[in-house]
Structure formats: C-alpha cells, structure tokens
Amino acid sequence: MLKNLITAVLMTLVSTVLLGLVYPLAVTGIAQVVFPAQANGNLLVRDGVVIGSHLIGQPFSSPGYFRSRPSAAGASGYDAGASSGSNLGPTNKKLIDRVIADVSMLQAENPGVPVPIDLVTTSASGLDPHISPAAAEFQIPRVVRERGAGEKAVRRIVRELTRNRQFGLLGEPTVNVLEVNLELDRRLPPAAPGGVITPATP
C-alpha cells in the first residue's frame, strides 16, 4: 500500500514538472524563435507603439476609415476578453431591428447600392479583423469623399491588401480593416486634422 502511494505521488510530481513546466516552456521557447510574430499575437506597431493586431478586429468610427464588422463581444463590442457572438436567432426582434437600423444607415451613405451582409451581421467571435471585398467596395465612396482622395488610389490600396483564398481553395477573399486603414494614413492622410489611427486600448 505504502509503495503504491509513493509511486503515485512521484508520478504526479514528475508529470506536473514535465507537462506543467518543461513542456510549456519548451513550446513557448521554440515558438518565440521560429515564429516570433505569431507567438506574440501578430501585433501591428507604428512609431514604436502597438496599435492593434492582424488577428483582432477593432472599431473605427471616423468616416474617413473603412469600418469593421459589427461586434457583440462584450458590452460595447470588440472586447478580446469576451469573445462571442450575440446568440440571437434569425427571428429575434432585437436582432432584426438592429440589422434594419444598420442597413438604413449604410444605405443613406451609399444610396442605391446593396449592403453587403457582413457589414450588418456580427461574426461568431465578435473579433473578426476582416471584411469581404464587397464590404470594402461598398465603403470606398465614403472614404474617398472624407479624405478628399482619388478613387483610383483608394481602390489600389484595397486591391493590394485583399487576400485571396488560402491555397486558392480554402475560405473566401478578405480585406484586413486595420491594415487598409494604416495604409490609407500612410499614403493618403486624412484631409481633416486628428483623423489618424490611435493606439489600440487594452
């Protein structure tokens, strides 16, 4: 009995050290050496300041920027600590009213053009950093108008930063909203002062 107890205690200690300490440290060390950017969250840095991540969406309210998908993550959306969808069904009145209001607002800024579905629906995570090329296309007239920029220049930025399907087969083409907005600031600064992207809040 005593021998079995000692064996069980020793196995627990060895397993704890190996799987709870050695293994995580080894995997973390390898990741930091082989894939440092990915291991640290694919952060976007400008002038030495972290302003966001390639992987986590954030809101943009200024009309001179492309806007992200709506988010239901957390009380005010885009909360990385509360990643989730709304869990509202397609017949839920709250969801229907919110979508109708969003569609009306978007149609007012780009009359006569169908509103892409991803501009009025949230993703499952609430933190999707991408929009569809159609959603980017829909927003181009507003961005051009607000920035006083040439339409061709804005379209060129969107086209250059559109990612095609992985391996040409998987997923759908996407546009990373933060990357496009950063490139807009770099090539076509806003006409109004104070319109540049500020660091992401934790």
Q: Could you report the per-residue pLDDT of 155-197, keeping only the tens digit for each?
A: 999 999 999 888 877 888 999 999 999 999 988 886 555 455 5
Given this model, what pLDDT does residue 51 score? 80
Over residues 125-134, the mean pLDDT reads 92
Given this model, what pLDDT does residue 200 score? 46
Distance between CA atoms of residues 110 and 145, nearest Å:
11
Residue 140 clears pLDDT 60, i.e. is over it: yes
Domain ranges, ordered by start, for the chain:
1-40, 41-187
The torsion angles phi and psi of 88, rounded to 5 degrees, stand at -90, 135
Distance between CA atoms of residues 47 and 37, nearest Å:
17
Q: How far apart are the first and last CA of the chain?
A: 53
Residue 202 clears pLDDT 50, i.e. is over it: no
Average pLDDT over the chain, rounded to an integer:
86
Choice between 135 and 194, residue whose per-residue pLDDT is larger: 135
CA-nearest of 176, 185, 172, 145 to 58 is 176
